[in-house]
Amino acid sequence: MGEEKRGMKETRKFDLGSKFWRTLLIVLAALLTFGGPYAVYVLNIILEMDFAVSMVSGFAIFILGLALIWYLIRKKVIS
C-alpha cells in the first residue's frame, strides 16, 4: 500500500512535457508580461489609486511574466 501512494504522487507530478501545461504556461507568461503595463493604467486611471502603488504593482506583474518566460526558456519549453 505504501508503494501505491508513492506511485500516485509520481503520476500527479507537474509535467512540462504535456501540451496542455506548455500552452497554459506560455499564455500565462504572455498575459503577465503584457498585463503589467495595463495594470498600471487600470489601477491609476480607472481605480484612481496612487501612482506609485500602480507603478510598483505593474512592474511586479511585468517582472513575474519575464521570470516565467525565462524559466520556460531555461527548461526548453520555449525554444
pLDDT in tens, 50-79: 999 999 999 999 999 999 999 999 999 888
Percent of the chain with pLDDT over 90: 68
Q: At 15, is the pLDDT very low, low, confident or very high (cuts 50, 70, 90)?
A: confident
So what's the pLDDT on residue 69?
Answer: 95
Distance from C-alpha of 29 to C-alpha of 64, rounded to nearest angstrom = 8
For residues 3 and 39, the model is more confident at 39
pLDDT for residue 28 is more than 90: yes
76: left (phi over 0), alpha (psi -120 to 50) or beta: left
Q: What is the C-alpha end-to-end distance of the chain, expressed in Å?
A: 41
So what's the pLDDT on residue 39?
Answer: 92
